[in-house]
Structure formats: structure tokens, C-alpha cells
Chain A
Amino acid sequence: MGNHSALVLIELGAVFFGLGILGRLAGRIGLSPIPLYLVGGLFFGQGGFVELGGLEEFSAIASEIGVILLLLLLGLEYTAGELVTGLRQSWMAGILDILLNFLPGVVIALILGWGAVGALVLGGVTYISSSGIIAKVLTDLGRLGNRETPVVLSLLVFEDLAMAVYLPILTAVLAGVSFAGGLQAVGISLVVVTIVLVIALKFGNAVSAVVDSKDREVFLLTLLGAALLVAGVASAMQVSAAVGAFLLGIAISGATATNATRLLEPLRDLFAAVFFVVFGLNTDPSTIPPVLGYALLLAVITSVTKVATGWWAAKQQGVGKLGRARAGAALIARGEFSIVIAGLAVASGAVTDELAALATAYVLLMAILGPVAARLAEPVMGFLTRKTPQTV
């Protein structure tokens, strides 16, 4: 027993230390650490270079907490007011976004013979942009004051709300419930989302007051306790633990939300890193080469479709061509939530291992391609527009 826990500590220490080095490397080259964490997981997992044993129990629960914290902080980022106005302003672009970016995943999954469940999963993977990567890229490139930036951000808001409806459907389908059961899950989640939005709009202060405390320790415990409780109850109701956490995040507002974000950010980073590594660990690297071609194809198609979405949305707001290109390119990055979706699917055992491999390869490509594309949008547009007068 003593030997066992010593081994686990050493392995865990090595994993965290390795992730720290990867994170530093990512920062040095101006990249999101997510793809590197995935690669780190691939490196150590089954079929990887080094096999790790004895970590399963801890890493399983830690990665689940990682997902809950990812969604909780996503909810904390938005106020209910922002969500409602965001929804009102961007619903047309949001629907275009779903159509253009969900379909490629669905089609490829069907071509590969993964059935309706696989199609639902892969559609989600290709649909959802990474709000984490995109917000960071926009800040780094000094584009917060740009006119197209609110367009991009409100599309992200729409996507995150869409997740609150999509995840319960996914959880229900993965659990293998019947069509009627699935409809029921959707119905429950829609009702719950609406109720939470109304509560957050009208009584946000009351909810915040319940979890708020001046004492950091008390605050952290109440907050984390509430998040896990809500997530657990949501999970028991088949609404998906992650969505429960997301809705709790929305209901907490104002200064409480700001403080909560500051307090939970390091915890989220830690547990989310474990989540990405575990996903990588459970993916056999040898399953990736066969699906790499499809991942590349999906990367190309869904880059084009995201650019089209952003272009159209920015055009509706009267933004010029350069800004439209910037908006489109900014949306390309996929990351944490694509892996959350794939992770849920793989954990349920309802999809093939190849799907995990394809999702990993796809997110690796898109998490790197996204920031690069955002930087290149202007020079490329400049090149294209300069060329036009010569040819005409």
C-alpha cells in the first residue's frame, strides 16, 4: 500500500511537472497549451512510449472535476444580461454557425460508418469554437477595440448557450435512452436553462449572496461545494454535470463572479490540464495515422465554414472586408469544448476509439491553426485585395 501510493505520487508529480514544462513551452511560442497537453497524454498513455499505472482512479475523478470547472468558469464569464442580449443580436449568425459547422462533422462521421450517435458527437466537435483560445488571441493581437470583436464574442456566447442545450441531448443519447427519453432530456434542459436565466436576471444578487463570503477559504469551499453538488444533481437528472455547473456560473453575478473567477482559475487550469492529459492517455497514438487524412479534410472544410460564418456575421454589423476576414479567421480555433464532447462520448463507451483519435488529431490541428489563421487574416486579405485591381 505504501509502495503503491509512493508510486502514484511520483507518477503524478512527473505528469504535473511535465505539463508545467509543456505549458511554459507553449507560452514561449505563443500557443495554447491544450494541444501540448493532449500530446503529453498521448506520449504516456496506452500504446505510448511510457505506460503509467495506478493513476486511473485519481485521474478519472480529477478530469471530471476539470470539465465541471471549465463549464463553471465559462458561466461565470457571462452575466445573464449579456447572454440574453447576445442571443438577441446573434441568433441568425448563430444558426448559420450551427448549420455550417455541425454538418461537416456529421457527414464525415456518417461516411466513416459511425452511425447517428457518432454523427451527433463529431458534429459537436467540429461546431464549437474555443472561447478560451479565441479570447486570448483577440487580447494578444490588441483587437478588443475592433468593431468585429463584439460580433465574434456574441457568436461565442451563442455557441456556449447552444452547448447548454446540446450537452444534455448528448448525455441522454450516449446513455442509450429512447427517442422519447431524449426528447424529455431536451425538454428538461430547456426548462432548466430558462428558469436559471430568469433567476439570474431577477435574483442574481440573492444567488451570489448565498455563495459569497469575505473569507477566501469559506468562499472557495462554498463555491466548489455548490458546483459539485449542482453538477452531481444535474448528472443524476440526466441533464449533464457540466451543464449544471455552467448554469450555476451564470446565476452568480457581479463582484462575486469576478472574485470567484480569480479564485477558481488556477484550480480550473490544474484540473482541466488533467482532463486533457487523461483524454490523451486514453487515446492510442497508433489509431491516429489512419484517421489523419479525415482530420485534415475536416480541418480545411471547417476552417472555411467558420470564416464564412464570421464573414457573414460581421457583414450584418456593417464591418468592412478586412474586419470580416478577421472575424472569420478568429473563429477557427477549436479546443477545450471539442475535447469535452469527445471525452463524454469516449467515457460512455458508445462510440468507437477511432472517434477519439479523430477528435484528438482535429483539435491538435485546429488549436494550432486557429491562432495562426487569426494572425494571417490581414496579410492574406491585403495580398488578395492588392491582386484584384491587376487582374480586373
Chain B
Amino acid sequence: MRVEQTPLPGIGVRKDIVTASGRRIGTVTQRDGETELIVSRADDPDACLASIPLTADEASTLGNLLGAHQVVAQLTEEHRDLPGVNTRQFLIDIDSPYDGRKLGDTKMRTRTSVSLVAVLRKGQVQASPTPDFTLAAGDLLVAVGTSEGLDAAAEILRGG
């Protein structure tokens, strides 16, 4: 995928990609660090339909959502031939009891037989996180297991 970087002298940098549908999607990062999500117009690819200001948190969450989708899709594809094995994603909420605690504290594997295969944080993928990985609000966990196991895992992450 080709990310085009265009300097905006005196203002910042624009980074965008042209999608298969012909739309331009990307970000404008201003000098002071302010980031905007830009989406081009369908009838005029030079112009922007919207430029939405994002806080650092919003930007990293959006990155996680998009990245997780990718990882989940890939895992689902790999497990297609294994009936009963599912892939699901869980978000660590701000009020989750595991915000700031180690992954090992969830005892996920022993309690539900579910494997946590990846953690997405700020758009970056941490593959096969170890039990001493510290979770933080905004992290997106990608888990593989049976659907009952995954339901139980969701309960644990929400309520402890």
C-alpha cells in the first residue's frame, strides 16, 4: 500500500492513500500535533468531504479498530477449517477492572480455555502477549476460542 506524504509548508503534513474505490483517505497532522481524519469527496477527489479533528486517544482507538479488523479477519480465515473455533475482539474499557493490570491476572486461559493471540494498542499490533503484559484502557484484545469460552472471557474482562 502506497502512503503518499505531502508536506504542507507552514502547516504540517498530509498523509493519504487512494482506496480501490477511488476515494482518498488519510490524515492531516498540524505542527502543534493536532490530527484530522480526511475523507475525499466522491464527485471531486481533490476536495475533502470531511476533515474530522481527532484527539490522540480517538486516533489510536480508530487505529485499533481498523487494525483489529484486519487481524480478526486473518485469524478467522485461518481457523475456517476448525469448526467451533472463533475469533473475537475485546476492548479494555476505562472502567474495566484490568486497566493497568497484568494480562496474567485475568487467568483467561485456565478459566475459559481462550487464547489471547494479540493486543492492539495505538494502531500497533503486539502479537502473542505474555502474561506479564500490562493492559491499559483502549487496548483491543484479539482472542481465539469456542464461542462459550469467548462469552465467558467477555464477562471476565468486563466484571473481573
Contact = CB atoms under 8 A, between A and B. Distances in A.
Interface string B37-77: 01010001111101100000000000000000000000000
B7 interface: yes
Contact of B9 (A147, A148, A157, A258): A157
A82 B40 CA distance: 25
B147 interface: no
A135 B31 CA distance: 13
Contact of A153 (B8, B26, B30, B38): B8
A181 B105 CA distance: 80
A144 B44 contact: no
Interface string A13-54: 000000000000000000000000000000000000000000
A83 B9 CA distance: 8
Contacts of A146: 46-48
Contacts of A78: 9-10
Interface in A149-194: 149-150, 153-154, 156-157
Interface in B1-44: 6-12, 14, 16, 24, 26, 28, 30-32, 36, 38, 40, 44
Given A146-B46, A323-B46, A157 B10 contact: yes
B10 A147 contact: no
Given A323-B44, A326-B47, A144 B9 contact: no
Nearest to A90: B9
Given A258-B31, A258-B32, A143 B47 contact: yes
A322 interface: yes
A82 B46 contact: no
A349 interface: no
Nearest to A144: B28
A320 B45 contact: yes
Contacts of A142: 48, 50-51
A139 B31 CA distance: 13
A150 B50 contact: no
A136 to B, nearest CB: 11
A150 B10 contact: no
Contacts of A149: 8, 14
Given A145-B16, A145-B36, A258-B32, A153 B48 contact: no
Contact of A145 (B28, B31, B32, B44): B28
Contacts of A143: 47-48
Contact of A144 (B7, B14, B24, B32): B14
Given A135-B10, A144-B11, A145-B38, 7 more contacts: A82-B9, A144-B38, A145-B28, A150-B7, A154-B9, A156-B10, A320-B46
